[in-house]
Structure 1
Amino acid sequence: MRAVVTHEHGGLEQLTYDGNYRDPEAGAGDVVLRVRACTLNYHDVFTRKGMPGIRIPMPIILGIDVAGDIVAVGEGVEDFRVGQRVLVDPIERVNGGLLGETFDGGLAELVRVPAHMLIPLPDEVGYAEAAALPVAYGTAYRMMLTRGKIQPGEKVLILGASGGVGTCCVQLAKQAGATVIACASSDDKLERLKQLGADIGINYATGDWVAECRQRFGRARVSHKDEGGIDVVVNFTGGDTWVPSLRVMKRDGRLLTCGATAGYDPHEDLRIIWTFELNIVGSNGWSRDDVTALLELVRTKKLEPALHPQRYALEDAAEAMRLLDERKVYGKVVIEP
C-alpha cells in the first residue's frame, strides 16, 4: 500500500512517502479500513517532533482522525461488515493507546483498528466531515458544553478561532446563545468565522486584541462597581497569550483550556486570578458520547465542520502538515488517500 511513514522524530523531512509499504492485516477483533479521509491535528505535529516522556514506536504512520470503508474483518467481529462506512474513535479505550501515536494511523491507503473503536457513519455525513470530528470537535464539545457550561447571553472570546478546535467552539458557543468574539490572524479567516456565527472578529496580527476587548467590553475592577470584562475566554494556545487572557476577563469569569499549542509553561500572574476570583477550567479529550452527539449534529445540518479549502493527496501530506505547523490553515486539513 501507499503510506507516509515516520522513522524518527524531527522535521518535515521525516515524513517519508512509501509507495510499497506493508499492508495491515486484521487480527482477531480487528478490521482493516480503506482510508477515505484523514484529517491532521497539532497532535500529529507534536508526535512527529517528539514529546517529552512519551515513547513512540518507530516506524509509525501518523494520522489520528480517520473515516473510511471496511475492507476486511478479523475473527470474532460480528457488529461490522465489509463495505460498511465508519468513523474511528481514535482512543483505544480497552487496551490503551492512540491511533497514529502508539499504533499506525490514517496517513495510508489502509489502516488496521480494533473493531470496538468504530462508529457507524450515517450516509448523510461525508468522510471528510466525519474525520474532522473526534480530536478537534470532540475536544471542543467537551470543553465548551460538558466542562465549560456556556450559557445564553454570555460573552465568549475564542483565541485561535480559525483552527479545527476553534471553528467548532465558535459554532457551539453561538448555538448556546452566547455573543461570540473570534480572534484570528487574517481578515479572510475572520470573514469565514463570521459566516460560522462569530459576532465580532479581532485580527490579532494587526492590532492589540487585549486593548480592543477592553474598549468594547470594559474591564474587571477590584470593586464590584462598573463591572466589565468577558465572561468566558477559550485559550488552548497557552504561551504568550495566557496572562493577557486573564486581563480581559470579568470578575468570576471562566478561562477554558484543553491544550497548549504555543507553549505549556507560560509566564503566570497569580495576582490576577485571586484578585478577580477567576476560574480556570481544564478539559481533556472527549468521550464516545461526545463524538456520536457531534455526528448527529452534522447529520441534521446543525453543525458544519470547517474544512481547509484545499484537499491534499497522500503524496502531499508533508506540505499539508507544514501549513498546519505554520498556522496557515483554516479549519481542518484533509488528506484523501
Structure 2
Amino acid sequence: MKAVILQFSEKEGLSLNDISLDDPKPEVEEVVLQVSACGFSYHDALIMNGTLNRGVSLPRVLGHEISGVIVDVGSKLSKKLIGSKVVVIPKDLGHRQNGGFAEFTSVPFSSLVFLPPDYDSIEKACLLFSPISVAAKAVKTCQLVKNNWLIISGASGGLGIHAAQIAAAKGVKVIGITSSEKKLKFLQKMPWFFAVFMETEPYEEILFAMTDDHGIDAAIETTSMSIERLLNTLTPKGRLVLSGQISSSKSPIVPAEVIFRELQIIGSLGASLPEIDECLNAIKKGAIEPIVDRISPLSAHSLETAFTRMTNREVVGRILISPLASSSV
C-alpha cells in the first residue's frame, strides 16, 4: 500500500517520504480500514517539527483523525462488519502505531464509531471526534447559558471554528480572535460570531465596552496565543478552558489576578461517547457543519504543504488528506 512516513536521519533530520508498505493484517480484535480521509492537525505539525516527541516512535505513519470503510476483520470479529463506514477514536495512532496517512490502517474494534450506511460525506466524517467532539467538550466545560459571552482564540482553526458553531447554537454570544486579515474577513461572514478581532488589536478594552463592563464569561484557548490576554477579558469567576496548546511553551499568569477575581483555569481533553453521538446527530441534522479548508491527495508533498500552510496560519478549518483524491480540491 501507499503511505507517507516520518523518519529521522542524522543527515536529513526529520523528513517525510512516500513509501510502499505491506497492507496491514488485523489482530484478533482489530479491523483494517480503507482510509477515506485523515485530518491534518496541529498535533501532527508539532510531531513533524520535533516539538512533540513524547510517546512517538519513528519511523511512523502519522495521522489520527481518520474515517474509512472496514475491509478486513480479526478472527474474533464478524465478517458482517466489512463494508461499514466508521470513524476512529484514536489512542496511539501516529505515536506508537501507524496512523491514517496511508491507504489502509489497522485499528482496535473498540475504537470505532459507526456511521449510518447512508452517510454521504465520509471524508468530512474524519473530523467527528477531533476536532468537532473535542470542541463540544470544551464548550460544555465552559458551563455557559444563553446570552453568556465566550471568546475563542484561534477561531478559524479546527477546534475554534467548530466550538463557535456549537456555542452559538446554544444562544451564546461568540467572540472570535484570529491572526490574519484574510481569515478575519472569512469569519466575519459566518453567522456564529457576534464579533471577530485580530489578535494584534487591543480587543480587551473593546470587549468590556461591548459587555457594559461585565466582561467575558468564558474563554477557550486553542492556539499558542497569550493566555494572559484571554484571562484579562474574563468577568470575575470566569472560566478559561485550555484545549489546544500542547507544545512546551510557557505562558505568564499573574496568580493574584486569578485569586482576587476567582478565575477558573480548566484543561479539556478528548470527548465521551455520548458527546460524540450528540455531535454526529447534530451533523446529520445540519446543526454543525464540518469546515474543510481543502482535500489533498496522499503524498509527502501534500503533508509538507499542509504543514507550511498551518505554520503560516493560512488554514481555515481542517486540511484533509485522502488516498482517494487525485488532486487538491
| TM norm structure 1 | 0.87
Distance 1:233 1:37, change over 3 A: same
Contact conserved, 2:242 with 2:268, CA < 8 A, in 1?
Answer: yes
Could you tell me which residue of structure 2 aligns to residue 312 of structure 1? Answer: 296
Distance 1:12 1:322 in 2: 17
Q: Which moved more, 1:74-83 or 1:160-169?
A: 74-83
Amino acid at match of 1:230: I
Could you tell me which residue of structure 2 aligns to residue 172 of structure 1? Answer: 166
Distance 1:288 1:8 in 2: 36
Alignment of 1:245-264 (within 5 A): 245-260=230-245, 264=249
Could you tell me which residue of structure 2 aligns to residue 289 of structure 1? Answer: 274
Distance 1:80 1:287, change over 3 A: farther
Matching residue within 175, 194, 197 for 1:199: 194
Shift of 1:35: 0.7
Amino acid at match of 1:160: G
Q: Which moved more, 1:167-176 or 1:322-331?
A: 322-331
Matching residue within 236, 241, 253 for 2:222: 236
Q: Which moved more, 1:280-289 or 1:102-111?
A: 280-289
Q: Which runs of 5+ in 2 are unaligned?
A: 324-329
Contact conserved, 2:52 with 2:247, CA < 8 A, in 1?
Answer: no
Structure number with the higher strand fraction is: 2
Distance 1:265 1:189, change over 3 A: same
Distance 1:212 1:17 in 2: 49
Alignment of 1:45-64 (within 5 A): 45-50=45-50, 54-64=54-64
Distance 2:49 2:183 in 1: 27
Contact conserved, 1:311 with 1:333, CA < 8 A, in 2?
Answer: yes
Contact conserved, 1:9 with 1:48, CA < 8 A, in 2?
Answer: no
Shift of 1:128: 2.4
Distance 1:116 1:305, change over 3 A: same
Amino acid at match of 2:101: L
Contact conserved, 2:7 with 2:14, CA < 8 A, in 1?
Answer: no
Matching residue within 115, 120, 141 for 2:109: 115
1:7 partner SS? strand
Amino acid at match of 1:330: V
Distance 2:95 2:53 in 1: 13
Matching residue within 82, 95, 102 for 2:96: 102
Contact conserved, 1:138 with 1:294, CA < 8 A, in 2?
Answer: yes
Alignment of 1:22-33 (within 5 A): 22-33=22-33
**Equivalent pairs, count:** 318
Could you tell me which residue of structure 1 aligns to residue 15 of structure 2? Answer: 14
Distance 1:46 1:262, change over 3 A: closer
CA RMSD of aligned residues (A): 2.2
Distance 1:289 1:79 in 2: 27
Task: Say whether residues 1:163 and 2:157 are aligned partners.
Answer: yes
Q: For residues 252-302 of structure 1, what are the alpha-carbon distances to aligned partners after superposition, in whole Å with 9 as ceiling and x for unaligned?
A: 111111231575421111121112111212212222222222111111111
Distance 1:257 1:237 in 2: 9
Contact conserved, 1:125 with 1:299, CA < 8 A, in 2?
Answer: no
| TM norm structure 2 | 0.89
Contact conserved, 1:237 with 1:263, CA < 8 A, in 2?
Answer: no
Contact conserved, 1:24 with 1:110, CA < 8 A, in 2?
Answer: yes
Contact conserved, 1:6 with 1:58, CA < 8 A, in 2?
Answer: yes
Q: Which runs of 5+ in 1 are unaligned?
A: 92-97, 220-227
Distance 1:312 1:52, change over 3 A: closer
Contact conserved, 1:125 with 1:298, CA < 8 A, in 2?
Answer: no
Could you tell me which residue of structure 1 aligns to residue 327 of structure 2? Answer: none
Q: Which moved more, 1:7-16 or 1:249-258?
A: 7-16
1:252 partner SS? strand
Distance 1:9 1:229, change over 3 A: farther
